[in-house]
A and B are shown apart, each in its own frame.
Chain A
Amino acid sequence: MKEILNHTDLQIQIASLANALLKKHPQLDDVVFVGIQQGGVVLADDIVAAIQLKQPDKKVQYGQLDITFYRDDIRKEILAPDTMHLPFSIENKNVVLIDDVLFTGRTIKAALDVLLDYGRPAKVELCVLVDRKEHRQFPIQADFSAIEMATDKSDKVKLIKDSDNNKHVVLMPKG
């Protein structure tokens, strides 16, 4: 297991993502943030907290989305679902989807399917921490990304929380 970002580096990247999002949506009007379970939610918790800190007068709208029932490889393995919690309407809103790693694009495709079952957003943007660009299998790109990484296809890149609640991004080679 190799550490890509330690806790401190990660905080810097999160702050810069929060800044980029605020620059694009300074008033936060009609913007909702949606983290994808599970790694995306770990990241989104921090991004949303950072945005809320800079815009204390606005209530940042934040929800969590689970794609388990929409996976395109569902027949390979049945997984238990995570919590889905969108406590607001997404109709005509600007939805910012947040995930830790953008890899094949299949998770995002499933997340878009989930979103459309909740309503018709005006626009959907994608914000990720790590972009593993060369392995994309669908025509999906990030609007905001902190780092781009060249990886082997069999590698696993994950945002994890350790026992002291510190967060790290790690790369696990296969085997």
Chain B
Amino acid sequence: MQLSTKHLLGIKDITTADISLILSTAQQFKEVLQRPVKKVPSLREVTIVNLFYENSTRTRMSFELAEKRLSADTINFTASASSVKKGETLLDTVNNILSMKVDMVVMRHSASGAPHFLAKHIPAAIINAGDGINEHPTQALLDAFSIKEKLQTLEGKKILLVGDIMHSRVALSNIYLLKKMGAELMVAGPPTLIPKYIAEALQVKVEYNLKKALEWCDVANVLRIQLERQNQVLFSSLREYNLAYGVTKKLLDGLKKEILIMHPGPINRGVEIDSDVADGHQSIILQQVENGVAVRMAVLYLLSGSKNS
């Protein structure tokens, strides 16, 4: 069994069989990560560049650790400390890196579609680690893996995404993936942060009342306000946002059932989520981070067959 794709650019372009294969392979890598020697020799002959044009903590460390656990050679590139500042174009930078015999590119960029552009022009396998407001496929895969680990299946589960849906690539990738795997989706947040035609375009429920949304769901994935991507004022203040859309302990305690709480990080405590919820027993935020390494190992492993030869 193999992936239907040479790159992982987004969840939109991959099949349900691809998703199932990645998740089941990740399960085996999770076992590898429990061993005394948490490393396998699978990608010994593969060199990977982590190309980060945008800041990252979790994703970058998670990819780097995944690569090392697979015995790949890795090099890191940070745009702010590179010749990009001297005016080099994206394609020139990447072609220069590839001439040093690099096989795979993990890439984050603030421009939506940047990895798709690269995939058209270079022979290496490309993994999207987040492109602008488009997709963040490995985050959606690790979210799905974490939900499945807790609830056994995604089929028929009610998943809520709360917050800045408009600017969130995590939201879009999650919606594509969870819909493909048979889950029901709802988005909630202030009307200014929810795309106008999202219900029709992506077949998701829309709810502007957080309490009602939480009552509906089995899992709430809480998203950060992406202030860096908002070029106009979309809500009056963070304090007011917290009052209307912050997930609090009081709200959770008032629900009839216990739901799972997720967050892709970084958390803004006291804005979209309160500390006692983020650190509470319903939260699987740190499990998400842990699973991220296994899921990224699976993606890198399965795509390493299309290595540049």
Contact = CB atoms under 8 A, between A and B. Distances in A.
B301 A78 contact: yes
Interface string A48-90: 0000000000000000001011100011011111111100000
Contacts of B1: 79-80
Contacts of A117: 35-37, 39-40
A83 B36 CA distance: 18
A113 interface: yes
Interface in A16-75: 66, 68-70, 74-75
A18 to B, nearest CB: 28
Interface string B287-309: 00000000000000110110100
Interface stretch (B24-32, B147-155, B252-260): B24-32
B21 A69 contact: no
Nearest to A82: B28
Interface of A: 66, 68-70, 74-75, 77-85, 113, 116-119
Interface of B: 1-2, 21, 24-25, 28, 31-32, 35-37, 39-42, 45, 301-302, 304-305, 307
3 tightest A-B contacts by CB? Answer: A78-B305, A69-B40, A117-B37
30 contacts: A66-B28, A69-B28, A69-B32, A69-B41, A69-B42, A69-B301, A70-B41, A70-B42, A74-B42, A75-B45, A75-B304, A75-B305, A75-B307, A78-B2, A78-B302, A80-B1, A80-B21, A80-B24, A81-B25, A81-B28, A83-B28, A84-B28, A84-B31, A85-B31, A117-B35, A117-B36, A117-B37, A117-B39, A118-B35, A119-B36
